[in-house]
Amino acid sequence: MAERKTNARRTIRIMNPLGLHARPSSLVVQTASYFPDCDVSLTDGRQKVNAKSIMGVLGLAAAAGTELVVETKGRNAELALEAVCRMIAEMEKFEQYETREETQDAWRKLIKEITSKG
């Protein structure tokens, strides 16, 4: 993975009818944490939280239709932004998996696809 130090920002809308509940929140945290040298935050207009904190992400209580600003700062900021935004955009797809193993396999595939571009 090519390393870049930048800042990046994008606004994304929660499309999952169930919103950003516990399971997708944990995947967002896992995705953000995949980039240890990058700060990742989510802002919903009321508060800004660390996307690597499950309590912070759950605290947003982001329902379907909520717009979030995803900001990344540090090494691989653009890749981290792409990964977190893709996870949020595709979280409904992750609801279909019945086991943790299936979910993790799909997550690894998503991360591999994104990081292979960088």
Distance of alpha carbon 61 from alpha carbon 21, whole angstroms: 7
For residues 82-99, one letter each, b for 16 or more C-beta atoms within 10 angstroms of the residue's C-beta and e for the rest, the string is: bbbbbbbeebeebeeeee
CB 93 within 8 A of CB 16: no
The DSSP call for residue 45 is S
CA 2 to centroid of chain Cα atoms = 20
* Residues involved in catalysis: 21
